[in-house]
Amino acid sequence: MVSTMAHSPAVLGGYLQLSRAMKRAKLSRRIGERISIAVQARQGCAACLEAHIAAAHAHGVETAEIDRAREGTSADLAIAAMIDLGLRVYREPTSITDEHVADLRGHGYSDREIADVVGIVALNLLTGAFNVLAGVKTTDG
């Protein structure tokens, strides 16, 4: 992906900067990967979905929870709320209300963790859309 992305130095630079910045995210990778799975299941980048499923497994997320993330939810209500936020950011940011944010805070999430969701979704939108456009395939095909 990166070598193909280099055809546009602006896109490559933006990707590298956002990717580097998101390594400092406060939101746990166990939750972030589930948000990424939910987004990629809808966006249609099979290579990204495969990569995020592998990362979720590597961070100890159980298969049942990965399957739930593909469906846009979790058995844990707090995580389900964050996945819902990620999907709202992806589909329709104007659907996010003060009540949604208050609910996330009620689950114990900080404003920084809530803001991290926007970065996670933005990075997924960039990589997934680019991979689909560039024809990047999964390791299987």
116 is a domain residue = yes
The whole-number pLDDT of residue 94 equals 97
Q: What is the mean pLDDT of residues 68-93?
A: 98
High-pLDDT (> 70) share of the chain, % = 97
Long-range CB contact pairs, 69-73, < 8 A, 24+: 69/33, 69/34, 69/35, 69/37, 69/38, 69/41, 70/37, 70/38, 70/41, 71/38, 71/41, 72/38, 72/41, 72/42
Question: What is the CATH classification number for the domain harbouring 112?
Answer: 1.20.1290.10
Number of folded domains that form the chain = 1
Q: Is the pLDDT of residue 138 over 90?
A: no
Model's pTM, two decimal places? 0.93
pLDDT in tens, 95-113: 999 999 999 999 999 999 9
- Average pLDDT rounded to a whole number, residues 14-18: 94
